[in-house]
Structure 1
Amino acid sequence: MANSNSILLFNKPFGILCQFSGNMKNLSHYINEKDFYPAGRLDKDSEGLLLLTNNGKLQHQISHPKFDKEKTYLVQVEGKVTEEAIWQLRKGVRLKDGLTKPAKVKITEHPDWLWRRVPPIRMRKNIPTSWIELKITEGKNRQVRRMTAAVGFPTLRLIRTRIGDWKLGDIALGKYERF
């Protein structure tokens, strides 16, 4: 029997919906725990850390924007990212639903620990890709993808590695650990 504050840290693969029902591949294909629900979302095209809990109050504290829970993403973008784009992301980006809060952003390298994505991203022969680490406290719909596109660098791959103090660590793709 799970205690009232159990959390599952799940490494969500690409193409999986953050729900337990429906005709598309979803969490029920990976998690066989009763009364656990996602604390926040990670869209079907994104990978990495998803938190699930069996505690409604904790779920609210993790997912509600008013708690400013910082989320960290590794983002592969199309093109050689510029300092100007990084500066724009750091100051906030105007999207159709308003200005985003400033993000913490840095250019990084392809992480050597990262698994291969299935299917692989679309690569263009004459267009390089870049990697950035981006930290935000908001959670607007597809926010990171919209932010990078707004500064001229569309997201090709998006991996969440951290939510607050919870880290993806070395959890294997498609597996979860109880915290």
Structure 2
Amino acid sequence: MTTILFNKPHGVLSQFTDARSPIARATLSDFIDLPGVYPAGRLDRDSEGLLLLTDDGRLQARIADPAFKLAKTYLVQVEGLPDEAVLNQLRGGVMLADGPTRPAEVALIDDPGLWPRDPPIRVRASIPDRWLKLTIREGRNRQVRRMTAAVGHPTLRLVRWSVGDWTLADLAPGRWRPA
């Protein structure tokens, strides 16, 4: 069984090919030359961070299937300064167009000092931003972004830091290592 951890850079698709776009976009094949492994779950093109790849179908299902409630932790830079009431909304679950989310674990954190993003996030001098550490146990399409927007604090930068016990610690963007 092969399982690897990959630090997906911003702008990279969570797949090995991109037949849909007439414009060449970066894919996993630009970074990983290891036959037989496939992503266990997805990260949007504009999100960064931990992506697990494996050749084990059972493990892939356990990671990707929300029924297993595997914790996924994100470092989220949001627009504005969320207060305790906003954090409590996230902790209690947020109503989205496709129904309520499960409760999340969330805390304000200091700037985590991550690698620079290319391209950089938009910065507006008149609007402050803040970092959150947010853990969910489901994985709907663009869920974290939709959750922060629903409570009035749109996501500026989203980095998945961990999935279960696997973490990004000391793994540079565009790099991978065995799990």
Instruction: Spell out the pairing of 1:147-162 with structure 2 (5 A cutoff).
Output: 147-162=147-162
In the alignment, which residue of structure 2 is the partner of 1:79? 80
* Secondary structure class of the residue paired with 1:42: coil
What CA RMSD, in Å, does the superposition of the two structures yield over aligned residues?
0.6
* Secondary structure class of the residue paired with 1:90: helix
Cα distance between partner residues in 2 of 1:57 and 1:105 = 29
In the alignment, which residue of structure 2 is the partner of 1:48? 49
* Secondary structure class of the residue paired with 1:66: helix
**Identity fraction in percent:** 56
1:86: Cα distance to partner?
0.3
1:176: Cα distance to partner?
0.2
Cα distance between partner residues in 2 of 1:8 and 1:43 = 19
1:62: Cα distance to partner?
1.0
In the alignment, which residue of structure 2 is the partner of 1:134? 134
TM-score, normalization by structure 1: 0.96
1:8: Cα distance to partner?
0.6
In the alignment, which residue of structure 2 is the partner of 1:12? 8
Cα distance between partner residues in 2 of 1:13 and 1:32 = 16
1:80: Cα distance to partner?
1.1
Cα distance between partner residues in 2 of 1:25 and 1:12 = 11
1:34: Cα distance to partner?
0.1
Number of residues of Structure 1 aligned to a counterpart in Structure 2: 174
1:39: Cα distance to partner?
0.2
* Secondary structure class of the residue paired with 1:57: helix
Which amino acid is 2:149 matched to?
A
Which amino acid is 2:167 matched to?
K
Cα distance between partner residues in 2 of 1:110 and 1:48 = 16
In the alignment, which residue of structure 2 is the partner of 1:27? 28
1:84: Cα distance to partner?
1.1
TM-score, normalization by structure 2: 0.96
In the alignment, which residue of structure 2 is the partner of 1:178? 178
Which amino acid is 1:7 matched to?
T
Moved over 6 A (4+): none
1:82: Cα distance to partner?
1.4
Cα distance between partner residues in 2 of 1:48 and 1:133 = 14
Which amino acid is 2:100 matched to?
L
